[in-house]
Structure 1
Amino acid sequence: MQITFLGTSSGVPTRARNVSSVALRLPQRAELWLFDCGEGTQHQILRSDLRISQLSRIFITHLHGDHIFGLMGLLASCGLAGNVEKVDIYGPPGLNDYLQAASRYSHTHFSYPVKVHTVKPGVIYEDEEFTVSCGLLHHRITAFGYRVVEKDRVGRFDVEKAKALKIPSGPIYGQLKRGETVTLEDGRVIKGSELCGPTEIGRKIAYCTDTVYCDGAVSLAADADVLIHEATFAHQDAEMAFQRLHSTSTMAAQTAHVAGVNKLIMTHFSPRYAPGNSIELRDLLQEARAIFPNTDMAHDFMVYDVPRRREVVANHLNSV
């Protein structure tokens, strides 16, 4: 699982930062998932190492322009390129109406299936490898945060150990690889988990923007390997943050601390903290690290590989 930040500014783009979009690349299945799609996102993808042909799912937090103005252009380009098989889009009520109106008035017709899913709190997508859920955040309009959970996987199967135990190859190996318990013809009971390496613990990613500090963000981020959280304002501008229902750097850090995450990556920064101003972005980073030390500040095209945690499992067989 690899995260690429395509836009890290809030409200408007700057020379160095585009507006909101984060890509999640899933190399094991050659898929690309997108979280928000601000204006210019397709240009950012072209400037990155990502392959637009792998795009399969887009998750939209809310309908403010800096999070959706790039959506229609991206979808239209995918159709003209002809490489995308289908795209599922998830987002709040009104998203489908927006896309239908844009398609109608621009006379844009997609050459591939596009399906819009109106989300509500809870699980919104699940397959054999991943579960995606969403929860309400606290913003000026309806806004959702997202949580991606990779399911645990049985560790690597030890073929040599199986051969040493004279376990016949064939379908039985498949069962043992899946961690199942198998009874052999000679009466021995073999647990697949004892022939496999350490369990590969599924990774967890939370994406929370736009929002002021709220319990919803804490719940979504619980025990996450990485939390991507907006930090529009410095702590000194907390009053402005409350008025506009955005987060300060310290709110993002508090969310990470209370949720018990492993790493916090802040994004969605106000252009007011440009270099040379009385408060700069490096000050926001210091504020956050004072509360949650394992904090980084995202920049456009920053790539983060989400590390995998492993659970140690004893590897031994019951004697028969």
Structure 2
Amino acid sequence: MEITFLGTSSGVPTRSRNVSSIALRLPQRAEVWLLDCGEGTQHQLLRSDVKISQLTRIFITHLHGDHIFGLMGLLASCGLAGVGQGIELYGPPGLADYLKACCKYSATHLINRIRVNTIEGDGLLYEDDEFRVSCGLLKHRIPAYGYRIEEKDRPGRFRVEEAQGLGIPSGPLYGKLKRGETITLADGRRIQGSQLCDPTEPGRKLAYCTDTVFCDGAVQLAQGVDVLIHEATFAHQDAEMAFERLHSTSTMAAQVALLAQVRELIMTHFSPRYAPGNSLQLEDLLAEAQAIFPNTRLAKDFLCYEIPRQRVKGAHAQPLATPLA
């Protein structure tokens, strides 16, 4: 799972930061998933190493312009480019109507393989053999949802050489052992599949929370993830403004990370008021957050980050083969 930040500014773009969008690359299946699609996102994609031709899913948090104004242009370009696979969209009520209106008044015909999935509440949105995606309601001026993307655990490598050393014939028995089952050989030995497999590789987990003021929904959505991407529009001293506009401060983002016990916090969606030359700058927001949650970093446009795997180490505590009782 590789994250590429395409836009990290809030509200309006700046010289160095575009508005909200994040690409999640899944190299094992040659797919790209997009989180939000602010104005200019397709230009940011063209400037990155992310392949638009691999785009299969887009998750929209809410319908404010800095999160959706690039969506229609991107989808229209995908249609003109003849993107082969379908594109699944997920977002709050009104997303489908917005796209229909854009098509109507711009005389644009989107490819038929685009489907809009309307979010109707917290819970599971999508699941396949490798991934699970769920959403949770946040606290903003209009309905806004955060997303949690989980990679399912992978079974450990089956050690064929050890199976061969035990005289286990290849074929269907190997399949059972790979699944962790226990088999009985012709000579009466019982072989536990779990003892011939490396430890399970835990799946990686990502949570994306924007736009929102501090809320329990974000904490719940982010529980135990490897990486939490959370908006930090304002500095702590501007907390009053954050509450008025229902956005987060750097300290709110850090509190969510701390309470959710995440491994790492990446802050994004910064107000242009903290640009270089102003009295408060983004390094000040970083210091505020790190005072609460040390493992915090700032996002910037075109930052690429691969979520590391957390490998489980363990030794075999039981014999590989036991006699038949």
Q: TM-score range by the shorter chain?
A: over 0.9
**One-letter amino acid matched to 1:107:** A
Q: For residues 201-225 of structure 1, what are the alpha-carbon distances to aligned partners after superposition, in whole Å with 9 as ceiling and x for unaligned? A: 0111000000000000000110010
| 1:39 and 2:39 aligned | yes
Gaps of 5+ in 1: none
Q: How many equivalent residue pairs?
A: 320
The amino acid across from 2:20 in the alignment is: S
170-179 or 204-213, which deviates more: 170-179
Q: CA deviation at 1:187?
A: 3.6
What are the superposed Cα offsets for residues 69-91 of structure 1, whole Å, 9 maximum, x if unpaired? 00010011111111341000001
Q: Which residue of 2 aligns with 1:96?
A: 96
Q: Residue 106 of structure 1 aligns to which amino acid in structure 2?
A: S
Which structure 2 residues correspond to residues 1-320 of structure 1 after superposition, within 5 A?
Answer: 1-119=1-119, 120-315=121-316, 316=318, 317-320=320-323
Identity of aligned residues (%): 72
Kindly indicate whether the alpha-carbon contact (under 8 Å) linking 2:189 and 2:321 is maintained by their aligned counterparts in 1: no
Please list the CA deviations of residues 32-73 of structure 1 after superposition, one character each: whole Å capped at 9, or x if unmatched: 000000000001011000111110000000000000000010
Shift of 1:104: 1.7
Name whichever of 173-182 and 2-11 sits farther off. 173-182
Asked if the contact 1:55–1:84 (Cα under 8 Å) also holds between the matched residues in 2, the reply is no
SS in 1 for 2:291: helix
Q: 1:308 to 1:104 in 2, by over 3 A?
A: same
Pairwise CA distance, 1:99? 0.9
1:130-178 residue CA offsets vs partner (Å, 9 max, x unmatched): 1100000000000000001111111111010010011111122223223
Does structure 2 conserve the Cα–Cα contact (< 8 Å) formed by 1:45 and 1:52? Answer: yes
For residues 218 and 182 of structure 1, what CA distance do their matches in structure 2 show?
44
Q: Give TM-score scaled by structure 1 length.
A: 0.97
Segments of 4+ moved more than 6 angstroms:
none
The answer on whether the counterparts of 1:231 and 1:268 sit within 8 Å (CA) in structure 2 is yes
Normalising by the residue count of structure 2, what TM-score does the alignment of the two structures yield?
Answer: 0.96
The 3-state SS of whatever aligns with 1:291 is coil
Counterpart-to-counterpart distance in 1, 2:109 and 2:154: 40
User: Which amino acid in structure 1 is aligned with residue 73 of structure 2?
Assistant: G
Once the two structures are overlaid, the 10-residue window that deviates more, 105-114 or 264-273, is 105-114
Deviation, structure 1 residue 199: 1.0
Aligned-residue Cα RMSD (Å) equals 1.2
Amino acid at match of 1:209: T
Aligned residues of 1:85 and 1:112 also touching (Cα < 8 A): no
The 2-side partners of 1:190 and 1:142 are apart by 54
Give, in angstroms, the shift of residue 108 of structure 1.
1.5
